[in-house]
Amino acid sequence: MNLILPPQRSRIREDITQAVGDVPIVRLRRVASVCETSSCYLKLESCNPGGSIKEKNATVLVNQAEEAGLLKPGGTIIESSSGNFGIGLAIVGAARGYRVIIVVDAKTTQAFRRMLKAYGAELAEVNEMDASGSMQKARISLATHLAETIPGGWYPCQHYNPNNPDAHALFTAREIEEAFGSELDALVVGVSTGGQMSGLARYLKPRYPNLQLVGVDVQGSVIFDPAPAPYKMTGIGLSFRPPNLDYEAIDKAYVVPENLAYSMCHALA
């Protein structure tokens, strides 16, 4: 018996940026009781080459900067990042020959620092803390100064760049639509810069009029709660309201204590 196999997409990529996206989506069956009565899925963005969804933002923003002439051969990419977006930029920078400087702070883990250096990035550190125990404002200030004083410097500024949501409207949202067709009732997203949530809303809301978009933030961040407090978690939360976040598109929002968030991450793993 001869089997006729469907045509396969080429798995060969010309550079690392083309390997971003197209990650597995897996069904959750045992992590919570809701999984027994509803179909719950997890999109494994950690399967991107550098381990996070932020590589999509890095690739799209660098492509846009190159096309606009903001980033030229021999240029320097500068960004404030607690880890994932910095790693994404370091990966793209290594692939395309750019110098990369990432502004970090005391909350940046040693694992992230080692990864950034392994991908060739240079680290600049700040230690000035604001009311919520965050150093994001100080990081942004230093990144702005470096971009203004280093010849050929380009600062994508993920927190304020209006193009930041593009990566998720162009890629993440379409990947979700391709996977679920018309069967999508709710989407839960951790919120930080607002780029992911806003990009997903821009593409998916017109196609799924009844879709419930749920935002999740960490206690101490002021994205949904105006009362700042110190928190240790990185990669989620902000000490200011993100201008890129489309609050009108969010149907429900939750602020989660850090101990619950860490415990749930362990349970999912």
Give residue-wise pLDDT tens across range 155-171. Answer: 999 989 999 999 999 99
Q: Tell me the mean pLDDT in the region 70-75.
A: 97
Interior CA angle at 267 toward 266 and 269, to 5°? 65
pLDDT of residue 29: 93
Query: Considering only 155-164, 198-207, 232-241, which range has the smallest mean pLDDT?
Result: 232-241
Token reading at 45? 């963005």
Residues noted as catalytic: 54
Closest CA to 200 of 216, 188, 182, 185: 188
Give the closest residue to 237 by CA, choosing from 259, 220, 215.
Answer: 220
Residue 135: what pLDDT? 82
Domains and CATH numbers, the chain: 54-154 (3.40.50.1100), 163-268 (3.40.50.1100)
């390997």: which residue's tokens?
19
The pTM score is 0.87
Q: What is the mean pLDDT of residues 28-38?
A: 92
Percentage of residues in the chain having pLDDT higher than 70: 95
For residue 88, is pLDDT > 60?
yes
Q: Work out the average pLDDT over 122-147.
A: 86
Half-sphere exposure in the Cβ direction for 162 (13 Å, CA): 0
pLDDT for residue 223 is more than 90 = yes
Could you list the beta-strand ranges (E) of 92-220: 99-105, 122-126, 153-154, 186-190, 212-218
pLDDT at 183: 92
Query: Which bin fits 44, alpha (ψ -120 to 50), beta or left (φ > 0)?
Result: beta
Given pLDDT bands bounded at 50, 70 and 90, which one contains residue 132? low
Mean pLDDT score, 8-26: 84
What per-residue confidence (pLDDT) applies to 87? 96
Asked if the model's pLDDT at residue 134 lies above 80, the reply is: no
Bridge pairing between strands 40-43 and 186-190: unpaired
Calculate mean pLDDT across residues 188-193.
Answer: 93
pLDDT confidence tier of residue 1, bands split at 50, 70 and 90: very low
pLDDT number for residue 9: 61
Check whether 6 has a pLDDT greater than 90: no
Average pLDDT, the chain: 91
Question: What is the per-residue pLDDT for 11?
Answer: 77
Q: What is the pLDDT of residue 23?
A: 92
pLDDT single digits (tens) 253-268: 999 999 999 999 898 8
Segment holding 212, helix H or strand E: strand 212-218
% helix, strand, coil for the chain, step of 5: 40, 15, 45
Neighbours of 35 (CB within 10 A): 14
Element spanning 41, H or E: strand 40-43
* Mean pLDDT for the stretch of residues 125-153: 87
SS (H, E, C) 35-59: HHHCCEEEECHHHCCCCCCHHHHHH
